[in-house]
Amino acid sequence: MALFHRLFGKPLPRSQADSEKLPSFEALPILSSDALSSVAYATEAALGVLILAGSGALGLSLPITLAIIVLIAVVVLSYRQTIEAYPEGGGSYVVARENLGTAASLVAAASLLVDYTLTAAVSLMAGTQALSSLLPALLPYEVPLSLLLLVLVGWANLRGVKEAGRAFAMPTYAFVVMVALLALFGLQNLVAVHGFTPDPAPLVRAAEPLGLFLILRAFSSGCSAMTGIEAIANGVKVFREPSARRARNTMLVMGVMLAAMFLAVSSLAWLYGIAPDPDRTVMAQIGMRVFGAGSPLFWALQITTLLILTLAANTAFAGFPRLAAMLAKDQFLPRQMGWIGDRLVFQNGIGVLLAATALIVLICQGDTTVAVNLYALGVFMAFTLSQGGMVVRWWRLRGAGWLGRLAMNALGAASTAVVLVVIVVSKFSEGAWTVVIAIPLLVLLLARIRGRYRRVFASMAVDPAQVRPIQVPQRHPPIGNTSVVWIASLSQPSLEALRYAATVSDRVLGVWVLADEDDPEQIRQRWHQLLGSDPNLRLEILDSPYASLVTPFVDFVEHHEQRHPGENLTIVMPMAIPRYRFDSLLLNQRGINMRQALDERHNRVFTLVRYYLPA
């Protein structure tokens, strides 16, 4: 445990949750690093498609960049309205759930889960490519370097939101400064030496004819610059109060920075005749032309690019666990995905994202080409559903200024829907078909989990009219045994555990540890409704100063043993036994943790009362 605390920090009390929120200066790098870092590869992604039509087609990169910047402006302004309408966090899942229905919300959620995972993988692989462009000797080691960076980012997030904000603020702003210097030095060179006549690109023969379809493919690849824009709308709760106003302002700042940086990189690539190179990124080639190959500024550019691309994965680590927690709360994912760890982060969601990202890195073997083609699809699916949901919201509410708001979100929905169709059509044969298949399968899985939860909870539900009374017999002489029953809900398994405890004890204590959403008064009323007021069958409600609901129960048992050393104590644990293996992931996870914690404290008598679920 001491080692655990050194690695991840000591547990934070839930009362410090507000102090873990961040000012805009620190929240921006956590939630915008993905969007800002995309300028390191978005231009290259578009050029990589245009070069198929020969070097003469590379000049189209600038008009494509300008079109994408217009789209960025529309989406940013649209999401500012979404934040205002949903100050508690208005990501695509929430907006679609409330305005378009369950099916649309699950499509949005599945799209975002895929997008966040691919975002983390692409960012880390692109970061290692920036490093290998600086040090070519590292080319054979890109995959292990990506995995090492993944572990470091995961570790920083497991330490908590504030820790991650402090760690990631400086590299993000350093990258922004280096791109600004790249633009200023490049402009000075263009004015004083080079002039504004574009250099011819290296001669490359056309492999495909230049047509509308290829231009649309290049446009859709360049739209990877827009990944991560939604993260601020999803993470409003990260900001200090007034959180909604801070989030809206940060969204605007991020949009301006992204558009300016993207335009600078694309313009310099066009003017210097930069073409894609398998051994050096486009950003590195521009840096060599502007700063010089061996200059300190070139090294600084590459190192900050490496850092921002590594930290861009943090946008996924900020968004994926929060979305998974919302889905778990709505019973679309196992409940443990919504558990908050000792450092007040959704540690199980972070763990799942770590595993999924590592798998993608291994499959892609460090090559971002395929992954970039995949994850833009999920991004624009989520954009379209979110903006469409806002259109329905304004039409339904029709408050002050609703028509202008509806028009803005309608423009955003129409624009992103067109891009979505372009991506599906143009990238289908390049791997987008896998996402087209994966999203419906993920939607079916989420729906199946919720359906199973409903059936399981229905089978465990208690009908007060059919509850058999539980009485603790007055024994003479007393048995000398007290039972402590862990109560997570007043369900059939809990009643069976209480009924068993009453048969082997003189006194039964039902212990309930309060979670954030629990109302102690409602719990007491429900207890008295079902079980009456037998003085030997009492309910103890415990507050948890920390996120863990296990530790307060274990501490209660230990203190009870210390206060009553001559008394036999039996710990009774209700356990729902599923009929299907799949249900094991949905049930009893906290109970398993509870048993392990009690074993570590060397409690002697522990009884499982099994309740077998019907098929």
Spell out the SS3 assignment of 80-113. HHHHHHCCCCCCHHHHHHHHCCHHHHHHHHHHHH
Predicted confidence at residue 129, as pLDDT, reads 77
Please give the share of the chain, as a percent, with pLDDT higher than 90. Answer: 16
Alpha carbon distance 121, 146 (integer Å) = 8
At residue 303, does pLDDT exceed 70? yes
Enter the pTM of the model: 0.78
Predicted confidence at residue 353, as pLDDT, reads 92
At residue 15, does pLDDT exceed 60? no
Predicted confidence at residue 372, as pLDDT, reads 64
How much is the average pLDDT of 451-469? 80
239, 93 Cβ separation under 8 angstroms: no
Cβ contacts of 18 within 8 Å, gap of 6 or more: none
- How many other CB atoms sit within 10 Å of the CB of residue 128? 26
How much is the average pLDDT of 107-113? 89
Model confidence at 342, pLDDT cuts 50, 70, 90, reads: low
Torsion of CA 347, 352, 354, 356, to 10 degrees: -170
User: To the nearest whole number, what is the mean pLDDT of the chain?
Assistant: 82
Nearest CA to 79 out of 372, 405, 430, 398 is that of 405
Provide the 8-state DSSP code for 12: P
Alpha carbon distance 548, 34 (integer Å) = 31
How much is the average pLDDT of 500-509? 89
Predicted confidence at residue 370, as pLDDT, reads 65
At residue 368, does pLDDT exceed 80? no
- CATH superfamily name and code, 8-450: Amino acid/polyamine transporter I (1.20.1740.10)
Point out the least confidently predicted range of 360-374, 386-400, 408-422: 360-374
Q: What is the CATH architecture assignment of 464-612?
A: 3-Layer(aba) Sandwich (3.40)
Which of the listed ranges 92-101, 473-482, 600-609 does the model predict with the highest average pLDDT? 92-101
Alpha carbon distance 229, 415 (integer Å) = 15
pLDDT in tens, 260-269: 999 999 999 9
Nearest CA to 491 out of 613, 584, 403 is that of 613
Say if 8-450 and 464-612 have the same CATH topology: no
Predicted confidence at residue 252, as pLDDT, reads 93
Higher confidence at residue 544 or residue 351? 351
At residue 185, does pLDDT exceed 90? yes
Alpha carbon distance 357, 157 (integer Å) = 15
pLDDT in tens, 400-426: 888 888 988 898 888 888 888 888 887
Predicted confidence at residue 471, as pLDDT, reads 80
Which of the listed ranges 46-55, 247-256, 343-352, 567-576 does the model predict with the highest average pLDDT? 247-256
Predicted confidence at residue 164, as pLDDT, reads 59
50, 65 Cβ separation under 8 angstroms: no
Which stretch of DSSP H or E encloses residue 280?
Answer: none
Domain ranges of the chain: 8-450, 464-612
Predicted confidence at residue 11, as pLDDT, reads 58
DSSP secondary structure letters along 415-477 = HHHHHHHHHHHHHGGGTHHHHHHHHHHHHHHHHHHHHHHHHHHHHH---GGGPPP------SS
pLDDT in tens, 138-173: 888 888 888 888 888 888 777 766 665 666 678 888
Point out the least confidently predicted range of 120-129, 177-186, 187-196: 120-129
Nearest CA to 40 out of 365, 258, 190, 364 is that of 258
Q: Three-state DSSP class for 159?
A: coil
Higher confidence at residue 10 or residue 199? 199
Predicted confidence at residue 446, as pLDDT, reads 93
Model confidence at 12, pLDDT cuts 50, 70, 90, reads: low
394, 406 Cβ separation under 8 angstroms: yes
Predicted confidence at residue 475, as pLDDT, reads 76
Provide the 8-state DSSP code for 190: I
92-99 vs 296-329: helix axis angle to the nearest 10?
30
Higher confidence at residue 187 or residue 13? 187
At residue 45, does pLDDT exceed 90? no
At residue 592, does pLDDT exceed 70? no
Torsion of CA 446, 447, 449, 454, to 10 degrees: 150
At residue 32, does pLDDT exceed 60? yes
At residue 183, does pLDDT exceed 70? yes
161, 20 Cβ separation under 8 angstroms: yes
Which long-range contacts does 596-601 make (Cβ < 8 Å, 24+ apart)? 597/550, 597/551, 597/554, 598/554, 598/557, 598/571, 601/554, 601/557, 601/558
pLDDT in tens, 327-341: 988 889 888 887 776
**Structure tokens belonging to residue 195:** 């002039």
At residue 243, does pLDDT exceed 90? no
